[in-house]
Structure 1
Amino acid sequence: MFIVLRGFGFVLTIAALTPVSPSMIPILISIFSTGWVLGFITPGAPGGIGVFELSVSTLLTQQGFFDNSGLSMGIAISAVAIHRLLSTLAETLGSFFAWVDERWPLKLL
């Protein structure tokens, strides 16, 4: 479920840059999942940084993967970079809220 939800976030990132048909959603989630797993299992790459970006941008630009033609390299790299930035910001924001909750717990009446 975690990968599917993050995959939908990735689909929304690509949809912000280029039109995405509904039939492409499962393929894009599969591309995202493949990149995430490759980044996760690669030793020496903290958070899969670099491995995820390379694998996903390569798969997005392959002919036949995205709407019978590959995305341009510029859009693929932009989508991957924006997604990495947004996911890092979301994790930072979640950590901040956890810190605030621990520091000043909500007292129920």
Structure 2
Amino acid sequence: MQHIVSEYVVDAADRDSVPITRSELNELLTKPSLNGIPLLVLGNKIDKSEALSKQALVDQLGLESIKDREVCCYMISCKDSVNIDVVIDWLIKHSKTAN
């Protein structure tokens, strides 16, 4: 089964884990099976006051330096259902273009 999109969920409220997350994401993106596959990064737990902003997450993960694929980042709260609809719309859009 071929991947249509790669999803990566980040705990935006756990600032100490972001450097590890960046390293893991960079390693994941070196996998040949994911070459050119769009990347969807979800910054979860924005309901918490200590959560990073979207721009801070993008900067700290180095998302703007990824040039070999489409990269999208949404800030979400699974607990409060914030932006889940936008994520679903993005996934539907990309599933249609893959067919």
| TM-score normalised by L of structure 1 | 0.30
Query: Which structure would you say has the larger RCO, counting Cα contacts within 8 Å and 6 or more residues apart?
Result: 2
Which is richer in helix?
1
Please identify the structure whose Cα radius of gyration is greater. Answer: 1
Which is richer in strand?
2
